[in-house]
């Protein structure tokens, strides 16, 4: 087993792309009824297991990972229990929409009213990275 390091605009959700929300792998990825942002674990529909490398990730990390090809972006609406994988061509647009509502390190202003988003940086055993944005009401 590999070692892993664990650290703790609008009200509309971004468009969901390429995920069947009824997929049992997707819904079965909640640990003890917790969202991935809380549990630090996520299983994507393809069966890949991810672990939190850094919870409450800094805005600069989020921006860098969203711009990095091959790093999946997952948005967890409704406190993280309705998850959507964002298509690569939509990632910049989704980040532009959610950025004003981002509430994490590196933010110098108070987020807009309504829902806010926090980020968790996930990694897997193969060295892959994933950025997860969770809606907080």
At 16-71, the pLDDT tens digits run 333 344 443 344 444 456 888 889 999 888 889 999 999 989 899 999 999 999 99
A 10 A CB-CB count for 68 gives 11
DSSP for 17-40 reads: -S--TT-HHHHTT-BTTB-HHHHS
Domain positions in the chain are 24-136
pLDDT mean over 119-127 = 95
Whole-number percent of the chain with pLDDT over 70: 74
> Mean pLDDT score of the chain, rounded to an integer?
77
For residue 113, what pLDDT band results from cuts at 50, 70 and 90?
A: confident
pLDDT exceeds cutoff 50 at 9? no
Q: Given CA atoms 41, 42, 48, 54 in this order, what sign does their dihedral have? A: negative
pLDDT exceeds cutoff 50 at 111? yes
Tell me the three-class secondary structure of 42-102, residue by residue: EECCCCCEEEEEEECCCHHHHHHHHHCCCCCEEEEEHHHCEEEEECHHHHHHHHHHHHHHE
Residue 120 burial class via C-beta count within 10 angstroms: exposed 0-12, middle 13-18, buried 19 and up: buried
Whole-number pLDDT of residue 81: 78
For residue 5, what pLDDT band results from cuts at 50, 70 and 90?
A: very low
Whole-number pLDDT of residue 37: 86
Whole-number pLDDT of residue 12: 38
- Gap between the Cα atoms of 27 and 5, Å rounded: 25
For residue 110, what pLDDT band results from cuts at 50, 70 and 90?
A: low
13: its two tokens: 């959700």
Out of 9-18, 49-58, 93-102, pick the least confident.
9-18
pTM of the entire predicted model: 0.74
């Amino acid at each position: 087993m590999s070692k892993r390091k664990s650290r703790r605009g609008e009200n509309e959700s971004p468009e969901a792309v390429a995920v069947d929300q009824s997929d049992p792998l997707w819904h079965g990825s909640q640990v003890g009824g917790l969202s991935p942002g809380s549990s630090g674990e996520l299983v994507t529909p393809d069966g890949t297991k991810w672990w939190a490398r850094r919870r409450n990730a800094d805005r600069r990390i989020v921006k860098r990972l969203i711009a990095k090809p091959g790093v999946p972006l997952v948005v967890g609406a409704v406190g993280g229990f309705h998850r959507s994988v964002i298509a690569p061509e939509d990632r910049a647009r989704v980040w532009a929409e959610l950025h004003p509502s981002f509430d994490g390190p590196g933010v110098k202003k108070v987020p807009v009213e309504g829902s806010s988003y926090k980020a968790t940086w996930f990694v897997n055993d193969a060295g892959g990275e994933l950025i997860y944005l969770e809606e907080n009401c």
